[in-house]
């Protein structure tokens, strides 16, 4: 349900293409863990793949076991791991996965997504908020913080960055809508998108400006 809401909101904001375009793309989720919900995701995409370090003891024909830290190139992953053609249209997704990867590898991988013109949507902890910072710091396996410097770097590469507000947390919504507090300082997560050309052009500058709002 949360994924559907996320995709719907980003589509309304024109940060993702129309849902009809998803049917032309393969879905590749990085680090999904044991809960994959392939049947739900197949409602949107014509092919679904999950790439993770382990199988978690769950047989899954859609799962591909791979060391994510070895792939600095998105197209290489599409071809070598998923077995897709190099010109396949692909939508990459990851929910609280990218922050576990080393920054040098991740930077190269994100740039390769832009160069390959792949669609992408990633959700990571927001270290600018108190809650997001605690989430990041309490897990020793977190390696890339998506701090303002790294955010500015990937925004200049072509990604749009925005706060993700959990719609079911009234206090958070109240602080933003009524208290007029900065969404980027309140939200515990951020969403990083790429691949929708009109959205990237329109939203690249505001994505950087979010960082400076008190």
- pLDDT the model gives residue 210: 38
Q: Does the CA dihedral 35-142-11-116 come out positive or negative?
A: negative
Q: Domain coordinates of the chain in residue numbers?
A: 2-212
In sequence order, the β-bridge partners of residue 122 are: 94, 192
Rg (C-alpha) for the chain, rounded Å, is: 17
pTM: 0.89
Question: What is the SS3 string spanning 10-43?
Answer: HHHCCCCCCHHHHCCCEEEEECCCCCCCHHHHCC
Does residue 39 surpass a pLDDT of 50?
yes
pLDDT (tens digit per residue) in 112-166:
999 999 999 999 999 999 999 999 999 999 999 999 999 999 999 999 999 998 8
26-30 vs 119-125, strand pairing mode: unpaired
- Report the CATH fold assignment for 2-212: Rossmann fold (3.40.50)
Q: Looking at the predicted structure, is the pLDDT value of residue 14 above 70?
A: yes
Q: Per residue in 163-212, pLDDT tens? A: 998 877 888 888 888 998 999 999 999 999 997 654 433 333 333 333 43
pLDDT of residue 197: 52
The DSSP symbol for 53 reads S
Q: Which tokens belong to 145? A: 């913080």
The 10s digit of each residue's pLDDT in 82-95 is 999 989 999 999 99
Helices (H), 65-178: 74-76, 103-115, 130-137, 148-157, 170-177
């Amino acid at each position: 349900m949360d994924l559907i809401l996320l995709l719907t909101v980003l589509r309304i904001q024109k940060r993702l293409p129309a849902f009809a375009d998803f049917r032309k793309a393969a879905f590749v989720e990085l680090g999904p863990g044991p809960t994959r919900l392939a049947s739900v995701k197949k409602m949107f995409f014509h092919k679904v793949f999950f790439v993770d370090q382990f199988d978690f003891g769950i047989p899954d024909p859609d799962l591909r076991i791979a060391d994510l830290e070895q792939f600095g190139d998105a197209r290489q992953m599409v071809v070598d791991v998923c077995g897709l053609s190099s010109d396949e249209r692909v939508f990459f997704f990851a929910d609280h996965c990218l922050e576990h990867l080393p920054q040098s590898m991740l930077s190269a991988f994100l740039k390769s997504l832009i160069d390959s013109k792949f669609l992408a949507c990633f959700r990571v902890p927001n270290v600018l908020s108190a809650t997001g910072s605690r989430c990041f710091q309490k897990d020793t396996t977190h390696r890339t913080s998506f701090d303002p410097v790294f955010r500015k770097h990937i925004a200049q590469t072509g990604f749009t960055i925005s706060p993700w507000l959990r719609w079911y947390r009234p206090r958070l919504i109240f602080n933003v809508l009524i208290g007029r507090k900065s969404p980027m300082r309140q939200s515990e997560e951020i969403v990083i998108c790429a691949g929708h050309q009109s959205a990237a052009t329109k939203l690249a500058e505001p994505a950087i400006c979010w960082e400076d709002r008190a």
